[in-house]
């Protein structure tokens, strides 16, 4: 075990993305820089009878690019996404999990729902053809922990391994908990992130009934409009995001190149409502404040915030209030953007994807925009980087990535520019 005074620095050495904007870091980043929406009519099933008929889907995804055909057939779509981002991240990190280090490498891959496609298929078989026609794989593949287990099997990681499930905060919690595992000395490297593949008939119907989804079916490209006065809800998305975290000592010893440093993680609960955030944003503010305090950085070192920014009426107001609570008058000078305006809301995977985007923002010195921002909301009065990317005048020192979930779960991560 490592004493608190000796806690290691934690760096990101690899990243992976599967998003409605593209498969991989470069296609996704290019779409963000082009301010392109990934929304469109639902094509994964016949949605003609649904009140919500649009989503941000992952198109042109071939699981056999990342796993063999036999394995792909025995995997839920979310598991396939998980394998894709894990392969990307491990390749970028140059991490080979040998038997000598396997017990010091762990995996935390979360999901907000689990294998929803598998569950729906199994339930339909039960109702239409009887219990003996339910696939024997259903019981395993619908479990939320399966992507984490499958990734560990694929790379040979035998360290800490489990699944975080905290609705829309899942991805950030997974990365934050992996960060703490390394900091307390229980692992030298962790693969951490989240997946979600919920664009199914039941998923779309269920989340529409919460009243939180946009119904702009006639104009999907402009439906997700975080912080805009005319927003009417989120656009369902799917995808995955994952990072390879390592202690700085471990990364340098094997010749890896640190990309950015993860320096802070804060978590809190609203203890208020199953789906609505506290109107004053106090729970979200608590998570952000803890993350920055634990980073050891001054609050004025935060140069960018990747907002949770769902495009729902109350979330965007409460998050704006939370940012102002934490940063005071300086909040008006911090660029804040919601990339959900482009890739949609991936529920559990959102925090994993947005953590990667936040790291890329620090690395590349361009802030992604909040697209579809047309009519300012007096309740949302910060700098939301409207509609076009913004090159920075000087290198970003540090950035916050926020995730807030149904149930009142809040998580914030602080990434910093890597300084040797």
Set 250, 343, 345, 409: catalytic member = 345
Please say if 345 is a catalytic residue: yes
| Burial of 129 from C-beta contacts in 10 A (0-12 / 13-18 / 19+) | exposed
Token code pair at residue 179: 């960060």
* Spatial CA neighbour of 94 closest among 256, 259, 248: 256
Residues 6+ apart with CB under 8 A from 144: 110, 111, 113, 114, 115, 163, 165
Count CB-CB contacts under 10 A for residue 127: 8
In angstroms, rounded to a whole number, what is the distance separating the alpha carbons of residues 144 and 113? 7
Set 168, 173, 380, 409: catalytic member = 168
In angstroms, rounded to a whole number, what is the distance separating the alpha carbons of residues 176 and 412? 8
Set 173, 250, 308, 409: catalytic member = 308
The helix (run of H) or strand (run of E) holding residue 252 is: helix 248-253
Token code pair at residue 185: 């000395």
Contact present, 167 and 348 (Cβ < 8 Å): yes
Please say if 56 is a catalytic residue: no
| Burial of 288 from C-beta contacts in 10 A (0-12 / 13-18 / 19+) | buried
Please say if 308 is a catalytic residue: yes
* DSSP labels, 72-95: HHTS-HHHHHHHHHHHHHHHHHT-
In angstroms, rounded to a whole number, what is the distance separating the alpha carbons of residues 4 and 55? 45
Contact present, 14 and 258 (Cβ < 8 Å): no
In angstroms, rounded to a whole number, what is the distance separating the alpha carbons of residues 253 and 305? 32
Count CB-CB contacts under 10 A for residue 161: 20
Radius of gyration over every alpha carbon of the chain, rounded to an integer in angstroms? 20
* Spatial CA neighbour of 189 closest among 270, 133, 105: 105
Query: What values do phi and psi take at 418, rounded to 5?
Result: -75, 125
The residues carrying an active-site annotation are: 168, 308, 345
């Amino acid at each position: 075990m490592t004493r608190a005074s000796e806690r290691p620095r934690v760096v990101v050495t690899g990243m992976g993305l599967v998003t409605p904007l593209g498969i991989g870091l470069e296609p996704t980043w290019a779409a963000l820089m082009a301010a392109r929406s990934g929304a469109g009519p639902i094509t994964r099933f016949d949605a003609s009878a649904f009140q919500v008929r649009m989503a941000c889907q992952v198109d042109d995804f071939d699981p056999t690019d990342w796993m063999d055909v036999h394995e792909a057939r025995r995997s839920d779509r979310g598991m396939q996404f998980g394998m894709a981002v894990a392969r990307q991240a491990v390749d970028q990190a140059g991490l080979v999990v040998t038997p000598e280090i396997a017990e010091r490498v762990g995996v935390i891959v979360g999901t907000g729902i689990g294998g929803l496609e598998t569950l729906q298929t199994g339930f339909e078989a039960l109702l239409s053809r009887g219990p003996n026609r339910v696939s024997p794989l259903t019981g395993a593949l619908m479990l939320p922990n399966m992507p984490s287990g499958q990734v560990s099997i694929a790379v040979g990681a035998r360290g800490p391994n489990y699944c975080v499930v905290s609705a829309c905060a899942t991805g950030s919690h997974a990365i934050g908990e992996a960060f703490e595992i390394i900091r307390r000395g229980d692992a030298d490297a962790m693969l951490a992130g989240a997946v979600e593949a919920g664009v199914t008939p039941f998923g779309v119907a269920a989340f529409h009934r919460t009243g939180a989804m946009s119904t702009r079916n006639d104009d999907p490209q402009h439906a997700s409009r975080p912080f805009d006065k005319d927003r009417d809800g989120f656009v369902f998305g799917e995808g995955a995001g994952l990072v390879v975290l390592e202690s700085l000592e471990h990364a340098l010893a094997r010749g890896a190149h640190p990309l950015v440093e993860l320096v802070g993680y804060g978590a809190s609960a609203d203890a208020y409502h199953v789906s609505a955030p506290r109107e004053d944003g106090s729970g979200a503010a608590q998570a952000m404040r803890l993350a920055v305090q634990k980073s050891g950085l001054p609050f004025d070192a935060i140069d960018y915030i990747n907002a949770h920014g769902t495009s729902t009426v109350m979330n965007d107001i409460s998050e704006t209030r939370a940012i102002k609570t934490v940063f005071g008058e300086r909040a008006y000078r911090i660029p804040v953007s919601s990339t959900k305006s482009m890739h949609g809301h991936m529920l559990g995977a959102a925090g994993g994807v947005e953590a990667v985007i936040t790291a890329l923002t620090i690395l590349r010195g361009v802030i992604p925009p909040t697209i579809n921002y047309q009519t300012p909301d007096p309740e949302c009065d910060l700098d939301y980087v409207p509609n076009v990317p913004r090159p920075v005048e000087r290198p970003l020192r540090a950035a916050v990535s926020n995730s807030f979930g149904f149930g009142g779960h809040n998580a914030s991560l602080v990434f910093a520019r890597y300084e040797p």
